[in-house]
Amino acid sequence: MSGSEVLRHRPLWLNLDYDREASPLLARVLEAEADHLVVSMPYRRGRPVPLVPGEQATVRVPYNANPGRYTYEFRARVVQRRFTPVPAATITYPRDLQRVIQAAEPRPCRVLAVASGKGGTGKSTVALNLGLALAMRGRRVALVDADLGTANLGTMMGLQPAATLESVARGERPMSDAMCTLPGGLRLIPGGAGVPDLAGINRWQFGRLLDALRWLEDQSDVVLLDLSAGISRLVTTFIAAADQTLIVTTPEPHSLTGAYGLLSTLDLASGRLVRVLMNQANGPLEAGDAFRRLDAAVRERLDGRLGYLGHIPVDPEVPRAVRRQVAPLLDNPQAPAAQALARLADRVEDPQAVAAVPSERISFVQRLRTVLVR
Ligand SMILES: Nc1ncnc2c1ncn2[C@@H]1O[C@H](COP(=O)(O)OP(=O)(O)O)[C@@H](O)[C@H]1O
Ligand SMILES: [Mg+2]
C-alpha cells in the first residue's frame, strides 16, 4: 500500500486555535500530497464549518483500534480552501504521519456478517453505526447492503447512489461506481431491491458478486455485510464464508424465535463463535435474561454455544436520527444507544470478546420478603 493510500479516507479531528474550547471538528482525508493533505470541510452537528486559510489547528488522527491510545497529534495550518467539486481545505502535515500509521497497519481484512431471524430488529441500524464507529477509529471499513430483498442503507443515509450492488452483480457497473463515502470514511455499497434471493441470481451473477467482494476485501480492514432477515441460501452462504457472525435480535419472543430458527440452520459445531446482540432492550437485565433463554435452547437442542455482545437500549434518538438521515453515533454521541454502539465496536474488534450476561441480583430485603411471605 502506498503512503498516500494509507491516509486516504482517514478521519481527522481538528481543534482550531480560535475556538479551542469547542468540541473537535470531524473531517476526513480526500488526498494526501507530499507536503499537504486535502481534507473534507469539517462539520459539527451536521453543519459544515468552513476552514479559513491561515488558521492554525491541532489535529488528531486515530490510527488503531483504540483511539485513546493510538492517536497521532500534530499542528497544522490551513493553506487553501475550495468549494467545488466538494467543499475541501488543504492543510499542512508532518512527513512522519504516513510512516507512523503505515507501521501500525495493515491488518488482515475481516468479514463480519450481520444477520437476524426477523426483520425490524435493528440490523441495518447496528451495521451502519458499527461501521461508522470502526471507521472513526481509523479502520478502513466497507459496509455492504447485502439485504437484496429490502435494501435500505442508502435511503437511511439519504443517498441516491449512481450504482448498486445489484447492478454490480448484473455486470452493468464496476464496484467502484457503487461505492459511496460516508462521514469518517466509511464506504457504503448500497443494495438494490430487485434480487430477493440467491434463487433470483444466476451463477454468473453470483460470480460477479464474489469478484466485487474480493476487490472490496483487498482494500478494507473490515467488511460488514448487512444481510437479509431470515433464512435463505444467500444468507447462509454469506454467514458460512464470513469470519464472524453477529446476530441481532430483540428480547421479544418472536424475535428470539426467529434468531433460534436462523441459528438452527448454521453449522455451530465448526468452533466459530457466533455472537448475539440484544437490541431495543429495556435494560441490561431484560437483555441478559433473553440471551440466557436463547443460549440455553441453542445448547440443549443445537449443541452449540453463543457469545453475548451485550445490549443496546431502546432509545428514541435512534428513530429520530433515522428520520433526519444521520446515524445516531454521529448526531448525538451522548445518546444511550450511541454509547452502547461504541461499546459494541470495542467488542467486535476482538473476535473472541464476549460480554458478561447480567443476572438479577436478589437483594437481601427481597429474599427476606419471600421468606416472610412463605
Ligand atoms: N436501539 C433502538 N432504539 C429504538 N429504535 C430502534 C433501535 N434500533 C432500531 N430501531 C428502530 O427500529 C426500526 C428497524 O430498524 P432497522 O435497522 O431498519 O431494522 P432491520 O434492518 O433489522 O430491519 C427502525 O425504525 C429503527 O429506527
Ligand atoms: Mg435492514
Give the CATH number, domain containing residue 205.
3.40.50.300
Same domain membership, residue 82 and residue 114: no
Last residue in a domain, options 104, 135, 156: 104
pTM: 0.73
User: Distance of CA 269 to CAs 67, 113, 205, 228, 304, Å?
Assistant: 35, 18, 31, 23, 6
Same domain membership, residue 143 and residue 44: no
- The preferred substitution site among 246, 318, 329 for testing ligand 1, maximizing ligand atoms within 8 Å of CB, is 318
The CB of 187 under 6 Å from ligand 1? The reply is no
The more confidently predicted of residues 342 and 198 is 342
Q: Average the pLDDT over 134-149 and give the result.
A: 87
263 assigned to some structural domain? yes
Q: What percent of the chain has pLDDT over 70?
A: 89
The ligand that comes nearest to the alpha carbon of residue 321 is 1
Same domain membership, residue 242 and residue 167: yes
Q: Is the pLDDT of residue 368 over 80?
A: no
pLDDT grade, residue 261 (50/70/90)?
Answer: very high
Of 119, 200, 191, nearest to 152 by C-alpha is: 191
The pLDDT value recorded for residue 372 is 63
Last residue in a domain, options 56, 82, 104: 104
In ligand 1, the atom with minimum distance to the C-alpha of 316 is: 4
The CB of 119 under 6 Å from ligand 1? The reply is yes
Q: Is the pLDDT of residue 75 over 90?
A: yes
- The region of weakest confidence among 157-166, 276-285, 301-310 is 157-166
The CB of 164 under 6 Å from ligand 1? The reply is no
User: Distance of CA 75 to CAs 93, 269, 302, Å?
Assistant: 7, 52, 56
In ligand 1, the atom with minimum distance to the C-alpha of 319 is: 27
Same domain membership, residue 165 and residue 277: yes
Q: Distance between CA 192 and CA 269 in Å, rounded?
A: 33
The pLDDT value recorded for residue 106 is 54
Helix (H) or strand (E) holding 312: strand 306-313
- The domain in which residue 282 lies consists of 110-349
The more confidently predicted of residues 9 and 283 is 283
Q: Average the pLDDT over 1-24 and give the result.
A: 80
Dihedral Cα 14, 15, 18, 20, nearest 10 deg: 160
The pLDDT value recorded for residue 257 is 97
199 assigned to some structural domain? yes
Strands 71-82 and 88-92: antiparallel
Ligand 1 atom 10 nearest Cα: 122
Same domain membership, residue 190 and residue 281: yes
The CB of 281 under 6 Å from ligand 1? The reply is no
Q: What percent of the chain has pLDDT over 90?
A: 40
362 assigned to some structural domain? no
Helix (H) or strand (E) holding 369: helix 364-373
In ligand 1, the atom with minimum distance to the C-alpha of 337 is: 1
Same domain membership, residue 85 and residue 166: no
The ligand that comes nearest to the alpha carbon of residue 230 is 1
Q: Which residues pair with 141 in a beta bridge?
A: 222
Q: Is the pLDDT of residue 66 over 60?
A: no
* Per-residue pLDDT tens over the stretch 164-197: 888 888 888 888 888 998 877 899 998 876 555 5
197 assigned to some structural domain? yes
In ligand 1, the atom with minimum distance to the C-alpha of 118 is: 22
- The region of weakest confidence among 2-16, 64-78, 126-140 is 64-78
The CB of 109 under 6 Å from ligand 1? The reply is no
Same domain membership, residue 130 and residue 23: no
Mean pLDDT, all residues of the chain: 85
The CB of 337 under 6 Å from ligand 1? The reply is yes
Q: Number of C-alpha atoms within 13 angstroms, CB side, residue 97?
A: 29
Same domain membership, residue 134 and residue 99: no
The CB of 314 under 6 Å from ligand 1? The reply is yes
Could you list which residues have their CB under 5 Å from ion ligand 2? Answer: 123-124
339 assigned to some structural domain? yes
In ligand 1, the atom with minimum distance to the C-alpha of 340 is: 1
Q: State the sign of the Cα–Cα–Cα–Cα dihedral 158, 159, 165, 166.
A: positive
Last residue in a domain, options 104, 120, 155: 104
Could you give the number of structural domains in the chain? 2
Residue 230 Cα, ligand 1 centroid: separation in angstroms?
A: 16
Same domain membership, residue 236 and residue 161: yes
372 assigned to some structural domain? no
Instruction: Supply 160's cell numbers.
Output: 441516491
Same domain membership, residue 262 and residue 136: yes
Residue 60 Cα, ligand 2 centroid: separation in angstroms?
A: 33
Same domain membership, residue 248 and residue 289: yes
Q: State the sign of the Cα–Cα–Cα–Cα dihedral 331, 141, 130, 143.
A: positive
The pLDDT value recorded for residue 202 is 80
Q: State the sign of the Cα–Cα–Cα–Cα dihedral 148, 178, 321, 134.
A: positive
368 assigned to some structural domain? no
Q: What are phi and psi of 234, to 5 degrees?
A: -60, -45
Same domain membership, residue 263 and residue 178: yes
* Per-residue pLDDT tens over the stretch 77-108: 999 999 888 889 999 999 888 888 877 765 56
> DSSP 3-state assignment of 230?
coil
CATH of residue 73's domain is 2.30.110.10
Q: Average the pLDDT over 194-221 and give the result.
A: 77
Report whether the peptide linkage leading into residue 85 is cis, meaning its omega lies within 30 degrees of zero. Answer: yes
303 assigned to some structural domain? yes
